[in-house]
Amino acid sequence: MPVPAEPGPSLSVEDIAPRLLRAFVAVAEELHFTRAAARLYVAQQALSRDIRRLERELGAVLFVRTTRQVALTAEGTRLLPYARRVLQAQRALLDAFGRGGSERPLLVDVNSPGLFGERVLDRARSRVPHLELMTRFESGLTGAAAEILAGRLDASFGRFAGLDPVVRQGLLHQPVRYERMAVILPEGHRLAHLEQVPLDALAGESVYAGAGNPRTLEWTDLARDLFEGRGIRVASPAPLAIGVAEFRRIMAKHRNPILAVVDFPAMPQTVLRPLVDPVPLSPVSLVWRKGLIHPGLEALRRSAAELAREEGWLCRPVEEWIPAMDEVVMGAHI
């Protein structure tokens, strides 16, 4: 038998946060907290906390919870149509003032051509064919984050933990993938004959990792963490290359090994080799601005979550490496 909730203070409709109603509707429709949390892309603890807060504010028990099932109470059943109407009215209000996003494209940075972000974007486009989801190539989350905060870009992919904490305060993220890292070697390099390159084999090498590029600070920082104590140097800054063709020309001229990920597109006269012993991982999140409401963003988040689940993008090998900070940040997403 449900325990009556403590009566809340006198409140009006505007006192109830839409987030709480969204949480309630998701649980009411799924009748399962884990599925509802996955649907909303939030932690189950956060969802349970929102439901308790709504029950406290309304002074009513909305669900009967047992170890085997979740069911609506009479009060929960009574609330459901009202909650749906409030959320529908909120969406209509935002659309009417251009905040719903239906009148403009969603601008999405995928970093570089040929990477997994384009697959996420393609699936999201199939979800909302009436909307425009436009691709951008910012070549680094540090650069993209500045554009997102300035309102010139809506979303991007990259290493969220590598951003300045002050920058992160204005953003939200959803972990999407742990990318296996690799090294691109010039043909004829002493390690080019190997199928996989042990990290220790790079001792004494200067490896290019974007040093000097202000748009890719999070990637250079990841490289420094990875190379520390292994006798591997971060290569000195090269001239800033804009565009794939110019990047390839500069790298061919300097002939430094390049830190990359295993899905990085092929470059002429080079070989790409996965790094092992341990397997270093680049943690990647979908990142967007706090307060952004756009139906294309919802499609993007659902598509990223689906692909991650279907293809095991968030599974990690046994012998792997990621920085301690990334462990914390990837585990504490919304």
- Domain for residue 1, yes or no? no
pLDDT score recorded for residue 182 = 96
Chosen domain end from 280, 295, 320? 280
Chosen domain end from 96, 120, 142? 96
| DSSP E strand stretches across the chain | 63-65, 70-72, 106-109, 133-136, 155-158, 171-186, 197-198, 206-207, 233-234, 258-261, 270-276, 279-289, 320-321
Q: Look at residues 179, 183, 146, 174 and name the one whose alpha carbon lies nearest to residue 285.
A: 174
Regarding whether 184 and 157 lie in a shared domain, the answer is: no
**Domain housing 209:** 179-280
- Domain for residue 3, yes or no? no
Q: Peptide bond preceding 105: is omega within 30 degrees of 0, i.e. cis?
A: no
Contact 176, 157 (CB under 8 A): yes
- Domain for residue 157, yes or no? yes
Distance CA(199)–CA(230), nearest Å, equals 8
- Overall domain count for the chain: 3
- Domain for residue 321, yes or no? yes
Regarding whether 202 and 171 lie in a shared domain, the answer is: no
pLDDT score recorded for residue 98 = 56
Residues 6+ away with beta carbon under 8 Å from 21: 54, 83, 86, 87
Regarding whether 294 and 172 lie in a shared domain, the answer is: yes
Three-state DSSP at 309 gives helix
Return the CATH number at 206: 3.40.190.10
pLDDT score recorded for residue 93 = 77
Regarding whether 135 and 195 lie in a shared domain, the answer is: no
pLDDT score recorded for residue 14 = 54
- Domain for residue 8, yes or no? no
Distance CA(35)–CA(11), nearest Å, equals 30
Three-state DSSP at 303 gives helix
Per-residue pLDDT of the chain (334 residues; tens, 9 = 90+): 444 444 444 444 456 888 899 999 989 988 988 888 877 767 788 889 999 999 999 999 999 988 788 999 999 999 999 998 988 888 777 666 655 544 578 999 998 878 899 999 999 999 988 889 999 887 799 999 999 998 889 999 999 999 999 999 999 999 999 999 999 998 889 999 999 999 999 999 999 888 888 889 999 999 999 999 999 999 887 766 666 667 667 666 767 888 999 998 877 888 999 999 999 999 999 999 988 888 899 999 999 999 999 999 999 998 999 999 999 988 865 4
- Domain for residue 147, yes or no? yes
- Domain for residue 7, yes or no? no
pLDDT score recorded for residue 9 = 47
Regarding whether 214 and 156 lie in a shared domain, the answer is: no
pLDDT score recorded for residue 247 = 67
Chosen domain end from 62, 96, 130? 96
End-to-end C-alpha distance for the chain, whole angstroms: 32
Regarding whether 142 and 51 lie in a shared domain, the answer is: no
Regarding whether 64 and 145 lie in a shared domain, the answer is: no
Regarding whether 110 and 229 lie in a shared domain, the answer is: no
Distance CA(170)–CA(242), nearest Å, equals 27
Regarding whether 258 and 117 lie in a shared domain, the answer is: no
pTM above 0.95, yes or no: no
CA max distance for the chain: 76
Beta pairing, strands 320-321 & 279-289: parallel
Regarding whether 187 and 174 lie in a shared domain, the answer is: no
Regarding whether 260 and 184 lie in a shared domain, the answer is: yes
Q: Scanning the structure block, which residue is given the tokens 């999201």? A: 124
Q: Which two tokens stand for residue 258?
A: 């390049």
Regarding whether 220 and 307 lie in a shared domain, the answer is: no
- Domain for residue 170, yes or no? yes
Distance CA(199)–CA(178), nearest Å, equals 18
